Amino acid sequence: MTPELPTPRFRSRLHDERTAALLGAALGIAFTTCFVTGLLSHVAQDPHPWFAWPTRPAGLYRFTQGLHVATGLAAIPLLLAKLWTVYPQLFQRPVVRSVAHGIERLAIVPLVAGSLFMLFTGFGNINLWYPWPFNFRTSHYWVAWITIGALVVHLGAKWSTTRHALRRAAPDAASEPTSEPASEPASEPASTPARVDALGRRGFLLAIGGAAAGVTLFTIGQTVWPLRKLALLAPRRPDTGPQGFPVNRTAQAAGVESTATDPEYRLTVEGAVRTPLSFSLAELRALPHHGATLPIACVEGWSASRTWQGIRVRDLLARAGAREGASVRVESLQARFSYATSELTAAQADDVDTLLALRVEGEELHLDHGFPIRLIAPNRPGVEQTKWVTRLVVT
């Protein structure tokens, strides 16, 4: 087998193939899960003509997006450890041994750069921290494809090495000789990282596995309710905020404090309808109400399930004489913001649990949760659960 260790400087077993293979396998699983759940999130947000994101199960998006953020976060310590394990290969000589080897090494560039980009931008996004000039969603989406493409090339190139390294029983630390490089630059000082070496591979992997598990344990409570008290590292706790659950954008930040509390407030139903409708808040309160227990599942990974009471969108559509199979644009009082409106597909508009909610857990909605009314519908990304709704446009 070709030696992977280029210089005596990197004799540490933490840089060997088995360590790299184990971390690589863990990363492969995390990245694949993160990629698939990320694609689902895009499908859920941009309806595709050939794939309708279902309205049931109601908590599906909560699960897939919770998994997306959890696997992305767990991948951060794994990726840093993996990069540290394999960085000696940067000094491998000759730089390129063959065409296949050249392609394999070239694919490392988009793989490493893409992975760092994905984890960094994702981490920034869940903290509502955007220290970059480009659009998060578009770049996070396209770089994901580049990264996963590079990962496929990398897996193809490393498949047999990895399998071999994983199959081999963990060798005894004292007896196994470190593979020697074919050519070694004599000038390299032999400075073994002794402290880490003493830790051994098992200790290193345990520490990294522990870090990944710890990150998961201390953030997953943002979406797994029983673990909410442990969500110490998560930017949001699902039980914190007005009425006991989080707010992403307050009424003040959205600039709707006065319009939402204006006595002249009205909800209108217009567009492709036989009878356009218009209601005051008092009239909305007098309409038949229904209850539904549904989560808000933010794309940033937190979620909170609540029991909402409000008016069924399908009832309003029937009253307005909308055709069967109509879709609906839901508009907020909020101006000039890409998420101030959202679309309901025909299936979503027709669902018995798609509500314009006036109340949550029996209380009138807090202004920051969308007073006087907000949209809440099953299996929708949180960003599409529009607050401060003032108009339904039927299409």
Ligand X SMILES: Nc1nc2c(c(=O)[nH]1)N[C@H]1C(S)=C(S)[C@@H](COP(=O)(O)O)O[C@H]1N2
Assess contact for 235 and 123: CB atoms under 8 A. no
Tell me if 309 contacts ligand X by CB under 6 A: no
**Residue 82 binds which one of ligand X, Mo ion, none, with CB within 5 to 8 A depending on kind?**
none
**CB 230: neighbour CB atoms within 10 A?**
16
Give the x/- contact pattern for ligand X in 153-192, rule: CB under 6 A.
----------------------------------------
**Using the rule CB under 5 A, is 298 a contact of Mo ion?**
yes
> Which of these, 161, 122, 140, 227, lies nearest to 25 by C-alpha position?
161
When binding is defined by CB under 6 A, the residue of 55, 369, 371, 380 that contacts ligand X is 369
Q: Could you give the CA distance from residue 330 to residue 315 in angstroms, rounded to a whole number?
A: 15
Q: Which two tokens stand for residue 169?
A: 């029983």
User: Closest distance between ligand X and the C-beta of residue 338, in Å?
Assistant: 9
Task: Please tell me whether residue 312 binds ligand X under the rule CB under 6 A.
Answer: no
Encoded tokens for 67: 């998994």
Measured between alpha carbons, how far is residue 353 from residues 117, 181, 245, 368 in Å?
38, 65, 20, 22
Cα–Cα distance measured from residue 313 to residue 351, given in angstroms and rounded to the nearest whole number: 8
Residue nearer to ligand X on the CB measure, 185 or 242: 242
19 versus 303: smaller Cβ distance to ligand X: 303
385 binds ligand X (CB under 6 A): yes
Structure tokens at 20: 């790299």
Within 10 A of 331 (CB to CB), how many other CB atoms are there? Answer: 18
Cβ of residue 172: shortest distance to ligand X, in angstroms?
52
Q: How far apart are CA 238 and CA 224, in angstroms?
A: 9
Q: Interface with ligand X by CB under 6 A: which range of 47-55, 214-222, 240-248, 317-325?
A: 240-248
- Among ligand X, Mo ion, none, partner that 320 touches (CB below 5 to 8 angstroms by kind): none
Tell me: does residue 394 bind ligand X (CB under 6 A). no
The C-alpha atoms of residue 129 and residue 53 are separated, in whole angstroms, by: 29
Task: Enumerate binding residues for Mo ion (CB under 5 A).
Answer: 248, 298, 382-383
Task: Enumerate binding residues for ligand X (CB under 6 A).
Answer: 245-249, 254, 296, 298, 332, 334, 339-340, 369-370, 382-383, 385-388
